[in-house]
Structure 1
Amino acid sequence: MTSESAALLEQARDAARTEAQATARRLVAVGDFMRLRERQHGDREEWVADPWDAISAELAAALRISRALASSYMRDAEILRDRLPKVGACLAAGDINYAMFNVIAHRTALITDENALAAVDAQLALRAPRWPSLTRGRLAMRVDAIVLRVDRDAIRRTNKEVKDRYLNVSVSMSGISEVYGNVFASTAVALDRRLDELAGTVCEADPRTKTQRRADALAALVAGDARMMCTCGDSACIETRGRMRNRNVVIHIVAEQASVDGTGATPGFMAGADELIPSEVVAELAKSATLQPLTVPVAAEPRYTPSTALADFVRSRDLTCRAPGCDQPAMHCDIDHTVPHADGGATHPSNLKCLCRKHHLLKTFWGWRDRQLADGTVIWTLPSGLTYVTSPGSAILFPALTVPTGESRSPSPTADDRCGDRTAMMPTRRRTRAQQRSQRITAERNLNRNDRLVRLRAHTYARAGSDDEPPPF
């Protein structure tokens, strides 16, 4: 029995080492891919959709991850290659895991002197493999102790009270979320009073309890309304007049008519939500929502900008950005012509799709190519030559929205180099990504230095005054 358990533990340990080694190989490959693309693209750091965006989007599609996670891999690849090569070698050997590498990378990010960084890298590579059982907090303290010896202004400091302030919104069950956190006392008092005020703006016949009205008052609060919507059901209720005016927040939910009527079981989809909205909740929300029926367009429109009805259909069909690896809600996306309108592409559902602004720029300026089918399926060919297929988000939930809408009769796109003559149209940044990073590091180092000098002066003054001043009595 002992030999069997030892063998299983050995398998787990070998798997962990192999996982760390595979992670290092992935980061090396990411770093090599970054250098390849940088050589190919040249200097475009001032573009809004800069080389970092183009590379992270390609990685996200290939690895089936988000662009944010792809960006974190890219940062780690740079650190492994340029900043902490010896610590990176420990990861490649499986002597430390990825979590340890991330902590070390974060705690050393403010070191700007190359000699100091090399010294820290060497010491950490020697010591970190002997710290396998440390928690993240204790590991951070060990790393800070080494950083402190070579660069006192490179310690990552945070104000605990500011750091602990937060407000979270998390799903507790389908259609219901929890809102909780720590905020300034003044903010909490103001919020508490405002919820009470809004909860009291309905008539006495409203069937909800005060607790329920306070919860529902958040909807009026975020919409900037002066009163809540009364649910007493009396059309003559004075509290229902002029309600929900001047709203500045709009929440879109796509649902079948039967679910809205309370007779169906198909859940609804809310932009940005992590879960579907149960049909019972859809029916409840429909009582106080603005309902907009969807129709399936069949004819092309004569203008570049689609009508509201056509745009609503495309957004409801797609639900999210249609680029591979992106889940940006369609309500926050551009409506893109697959075959450009200037090249004869029709303003027709079979030639329209949702693209977030970043992927829209990548398609326009970075050589992403796409072909769209009549049911909304999009076939992408990226600069690497790899092909990806994305289906409309409603394909499973609302299949009626993905019924082929007919051919748009758009001409075949001509082969052009969109990274050439059109570059003058690309929006530019005020500061490059590297300049922004340098500014953040310099600002944090200056805060550390000022804080250190203030504490040093206070300590010196206290010691100097202890022998000369009489006791306070």
Structure 2
Amino acid sequence: MFEAMPCDLAFQGVDDAGVLDRVTAAARAQNAHCARELAAIGELYARRAPDDDADRFNWAVDGHENVVAEVAAALGISRGRASGRLHYAIALRERLPRVAEVFAQGRIDFRLMAAVVYRTELIEDPELIARLDAAVARHAPKWMRLSGPKMAERIDMWVARIDPAGVRVPGMRSQDRRVEIGPISPGLAEISARVHPTDAAAVDRALDALADSVCRNDSRTKAQRRADAMGAMAAGLTVLRCDCGSPDCPAPQRPPGTNVMVHVLAEPAAVAGEACAPALLPGFGPLPTGSLRDLAGVAKTKPLSVPPDRAETGYRPSTALAEFVRFRDLTCRFPGCDAPADVCDIDHTVPFPLGPTHPSKLR
């Protein structure tokens, strides 16, 4: 039965690289096909649901609902799903034409397109949405490897940069800060906290440091050790007691550092209070302007320099180059990995010495 398969589904004589090429080509074709479908739905809407009909407010069913019904019938899907597709089609056609072009080229998928539409909906000024459309279209293909939260973080940063009022992140509400502790089952309790994002990042790093202070023979998972580290922090301990049971356990000889460093990225003018450009706390998204002002008064600031456009001679990047690469990438570059870049090793895209130690060739 498989002898009659189309040639593009037959893999006989195709090497592994060729199969991977087909995977990527099929993915791009699928993205482009979805974009064409939404473009057609958008065209149908433009023809069937004009906004200039003075009598439309007296209709029981308007043009929008008619298009939804037609799309649902044509595709054999529910009204809800058809309405969702029309929503994206209108957004791409009327608000995000540059993003629509990138989508039609197959360079981004439906997931990323939908995130862009949702996270930019609060921008109302046509000039601002046009600027955002151009910026996001330029950068979006590089966001394909990101997880959902990291993808939202990148989109929100561009929204905050162009129209701070359009970010789908509430401003800081100090009165909402709280910590709640209570039992959830025999032998277990739950701690829930709503704190400043910088404090949350510091606690996260401190828990990791304590959890990693045991030896490799500890029987607990990383999640369990982080939970146990809460008690160790409350007791003022700098190491977590290892449960390996060995009298020669090396863990007590290598306590973690007691200082926790949290990085926040911001434009110099924003740090100086001369502009309202957003700041970014990696892993937590844009910071409200008030938070940045508070931090600028007490935190140590350090300019991040852009390295020269020439390769370094050694295998290991200099401190300045490594710092630039980590702040540029923010997270691990492997698709879907959210590990912070400052705990990842920097590697050459092309193995050294064939690949130079240059910002564009490091990740």
Shorter-normalised TM-score: what interval? 0.3 to 0.5
TM-score, length-normalised on structure 1? 0.33
**Greater Rg by CA:** 1
